[in-house]
Structure 1
C-alpha cells in the first residue's frame, strides 16, 4: 500500500468504484449534483460508520478538524451538514443497495471455503429479522404500533463467513413470513428459520424449487407418523420420523412428506421439534444447523453495537434506507479486507483499530499487526500525565 495515503483512502481503494459509477449513472444520482457527488456521499457516510459518528453535526465537526487531509481522503471540499442532509434525502437509496449487493457477491466468493462446525456440502442460510424502533411523529412513513414507528431489517445470512446475502427493509408491520414471497429459493441450499416462518404453502414453494428448509414445529401441528427411522437417545435424538399433515388446509398446502426430529438437549433438558424436507442429512446435522441459526442473531447484535443503524442522520425513508445499506456495505467491506489481507483479528477488533487510525498514513496491513498495536501503546504511555492522583 502507498504510505502517502491515509488508512481511510486505502480502505476505499478496495471498493469497485467503476461499478459504483455505473449504478450512479443508472439512477441519475449525480444529475443535479453541484458540490457533493454520490461517491463523496458514500465516503462520508462510510467514514461516519467507521468512526461511530452520532449526527450530521458530529460528522461536520470531525471532518472540519482534519480539513488539511480531506483531499487525500477523497473529498474535494469541506463537508457541510446541510449538503449531506440533502444528499441523503434525495439520492436514490437503490444506488447503495445494489452496490452493497456487489460487495456481498465479492465477499461470498472469498468465504465460500469457510468451514462450519459440522460437515455440510450444501450452502446454508439463516433467515431472521430485527426491529429498529423509531419515533412515530418523526418517522410517520414506518408505522408499527399505535404510538410507535419501526423498520424491520429482514436478513438472509450465509453461515459460511456470516455474510448477509439478502436484505429486505420494511416498516414494522410487515410479518416475517411475508418475506418468503420476496425471497427466491436457491436449489440445493438449506434455509434455517424459526417458527415465525412456518407457513406450509410458502414452504412447499421452497420444496418445489429443490431447496431445503429447517424450522421448528408448532405445538398444535396436526400430523401422523408414516415411518420411524432409528434414533440415538444417548445424543439427544428422541425420534426421527417421516410424517404427513392431517389438517385440511395444511395437507392441501403441503401434500408431500415431512421429516420430524425431536431433540432433547442433554445439557438443558429442553425438548425441540424440528421440521425439514431433507431426508438425507443425519438428524444430528439438522439439529446443528438450527443451532447455527443463532449466528444471525449475533449478526444483528453486532451491527447494532458497532454500526450506526439505530440512530439515523435523516428522517425520510430514502435517508434511512441509504444509511442502512451503507452500513451493510461497510460491514462487508471490512470482511473483504480481513480475508484479502489474511488478518486473524475479528471484525470488531478491526473496526476498533480503524475508528482511531483512519487519518494515519501507514500501510494498511501494518495498522493491524501486533507490533503496530504495541508501538501505539508505547507512544501513549510516554505522554505526559495530565492528572496524577
Structure 2
C-alpha cells in the first residue's frame, strides 16, 4: 500500500488488525493495546512481536479517516447485497445523531459549551424487521453542529422512507424533500402552527387519535405543500404529533413506522456499551474519527457474520463468541453462531 511507503514496522494492515482487536476486546488505551502484544497469538495474527505507544499514536493521528470510512462503506455494500431479498417493499431508513463527550482540556478544537467538548456521530440506519438493523451512512462533526444542517447530506435515496425526530424540523427542507420526491416521517412540536384542511376518517379499532391533512407554519414561515398530521399515544401515555408527506399508507402503518425510530437509539446505546468509543486513544480530530469508524466496521462485521450463518443470535452473543474463540479455527465460532454443536 502507498500508505506504507515510509513505514518500516507498523503497516496499515497490522494497525487495522490491532484496532479491530482493541474494539472487540474493549481495550481502553494505547498503553493497554501495546501490552496486549505480549500474547503470542496476537503477535502471529498481526505480524508484530512488539510496538511502542508512540508508534501507535503517530499512526492513529496520521491516517486519513477517509480510509476507514471507505472500508465501512465497502462492508455496507456487502450487507446491502446480501439483504436485498429480506427488505420491505420500501425500506425504512432512520436518521439521528449522538454526542460523544470529550475532555475540553485535550480537545479544544471540539469545544461546544463553556466547559464541554464533544463530537457528533450523525448516522443513517437501515431498519430490519428481522435480523440486525445496520448503519449505512455516517458523518462526524463537532458537537456544536446542529442536526438540521446534516439532513440534506443524509437524504439521497428516493426508494425509501426516512424517519427522524424533531431535531431535524425544517419546513423549507420538508418542502424541498416533497418537491424532489423524497418520503419522510418526523415528529412535530406540539406548539407548531397548523391549519387543518381535511379530517381523514379513522377505523373504529385504531389507536391513532386523529389523522388530518394540514398546512404547517406561520404566514412568515410556512411550508407550501400539504402534509399529513397524525396524533398518537406513545407507550408512556404521551401524545405525539407525527408529520409525513405519505398519503397512501394507513394511519396505523405510519404510527408503527415511527416506533421503528427506537432502533437507532438502541444502536447508539449498544456501540457505547460494547465497543470502545467512550474513551478515545488520541486527541486529534483524525484520531477520534478513526476510532469511531473502526467501531462501525466491527459492528458491520458482526452483521455479516449473522447473515452468512443465518443465525438468530443477538449481536452481543455473536460478539462474545468471537471474543471467546478469537484464536480458534473459524469453523468453531461459525458453528457456535449458527447454533450447531461443536464436534
* CA offset digits 1:278-320 (Å, max 9, x no partner): 1101111111111110000000000001100111111111111
Alignment correspondent of 2:9: 35
Contact 1:51 1:356 in 2 (8 A): no
Query: Secondary structure at 1:152's aligned position in 2?
Result: strand
Tell me the CA shift for residue 345 of structure 1: 1.3
Alignment correspondent of 1:60: 34
Alignment correspondent of 1:343: 311
CA distance in 2, matches of 1:283, 1:78: 61
| 1:44-55 equivalence runs, <5 A | 44-55=18-29
1:279 paired residue among 247, 270, 286: 247
Tell me the CA shift for residue 41 of structure 1: 1.1
Give the gaps of 5 or more residues in structure 2. none
Alignment correspondent of 1:4: none
The answer to which structure, 1 or 2, has the higher relative contact order (CA under 8 A, 6+ apart) is 1
Task: Say yes or no: does 1:256 pair with 2:225.
Answer: yes
Tell me the CA shift for residue 134 of structure 1: 0.9
1:70 paired residue among 11, 25, 43: 43
Tell me the CA shift for residue 349 of structure 1: 0.5
Alignment RMSD: 1.9
2:126 paired residue among 128, 136, 158: 158
CA distance in 2, matches of 1:131, 1:177: 15
CA distance in 1, matches of 2:296, 2:40: 27
Contact 1:155 1:165 in 2 (8 A): yes
* Shift in CA distance, 236/45, structure 1 to aligned 2, threshold 3 Å: same
* Shift in CA distance, 183/311, structure 1 to aligned 2, threshold 3 Å: same
Query: Secondary structure at 2:59's aligned position in 1?
Result: helix
Tell me the CA shift for residue 219 of structure 1: 1.7
CA distance in 2, matches of 1:114, 1:128: 23
| 1:277-356 equivalence runs, <5 A | 277-356=245-324
| 1:139-178 equivalence runs, <5 A | 139-160=107-128, 161-178=132-149
Alignment correspondent of 1:199: 170
Alignment correspondent of 1:229: 200
CA distance in 1, matches of 2:330, 2:297: 24
Larger radius of gyration: 1
TM-score, length basis structure 2: 0.93
CA distance in 2, matches of 1:257, 1:68: 62
Task: Say yes or no: does 1:270 pair with 2:244.
Answer: no
How many pairs are equivalent?
338
Tell me the CA shift for residue 356 of structure 1: 2.6
CA distance in 2, matches of 1:68, 1:125: 40
Query: Secondary structure at 1:290's aligned position in 2?
Result: helix
| 1:92-107 equivalence runs, <5 A | 92-107=64-79
Alignment correspondent of 1:381: none
Contact 2:194 2:214 in 1 (8 A): yes
Tell me the CA shift for residue 86 of structure 1: 0.9
Contact 1:52 1:355 in 2 (8 A): no
Contact 1:188 1:210 in 2 (8 A): no
Query: Secondary structure at 1:88's aligned position in 2?
Result: helix
CA distance in 1, matches of 2:200, 2:9: 68
Tell me the CA shift for residue 89 of structure 1: 0.9
1:238 paired residue among 186, 204, 209: 209
Tell me the CA shift for residue 121 of structure 1: 1.7
Provide runs of 4+ in structure 1 moved above 6 Å.
Answer: none
Query: Secondary structure at 1:237's aligned position in 2?
Result: coil
Contact 2:171 2:217 in 1 (8 A): no
**Mean Cα displacement is larger for which, 144-153 or 218-227?**
218-227
Alignment correspondent of 2:58: 86
* Shift in CA distance, 82/196, structure 1 to aligned 2, threshold 3 Å: same
Give the gaps of 5 or more residues in structure 1. 1-20, 376-389
Tell me the CA shift for residue 169 of structure 1: 0.7
Alignment correspondent of 2:98: 130
